[in-house]
Amino acid sequence: MTIDWDGRPIGCLRWQKVTRETLDSLSLTEIPEGSVDIDILIGETDCLGRGLGPRALSILVRTLSQDRSIPLLGLTTSVLNAAAQRAFEKAGFRKVREYEPPGFGPCALMVMRLDQ
């Protein structure tokens, strides 16, 4: 899904339900099957730091929260990317731990529970 602002595309959102097999392979055993993994990219540097990422995530969260089968939403970012972590927190996500997926280095796992 394209993120548009002021009439132009500035980034994208992608999401998918995650299987138990995938979660276990990443040692994310505490994450329930059927959770949704979200990827967000704001690719226009003049649009960073304007709150557009958190706004886009909030819209997606409202949409996904209508599906009662989804227990949790998750995002991953580098432990060094403090700006992304702050943006995810503004959208309601919280950091639960760090882990190291193959090829990405140390990452922060940020989640939002929907089944409460």
pLDDT tens digits along 13-57? 999 999 999 999 999 999 999 999 999 988 877 768 878 888 899
pLDDT tens digits along 47-100? 688 788 888 999 999 999 999 999 999 999 999 999 999 999 999 999 999 999
Model pLDDT, residue 8: 87
Question: Token digits for 105?
Answer: 């280095």
Neighbours of 85 (CB within 10 A): 19
Work out how many domains the chain is built from and give that number.
1
| Phi and psi at residue 55, to the nearest 5° | -65, -45
- 72: domain CATH number is 3.40.630.30
Q: Domain containing 17: what range? A: 2-113
pTM of the model: 0.90
Of the pLDDT bands very low, low, confident and very high (cuts 50, 70, 90), residue 116 is: low
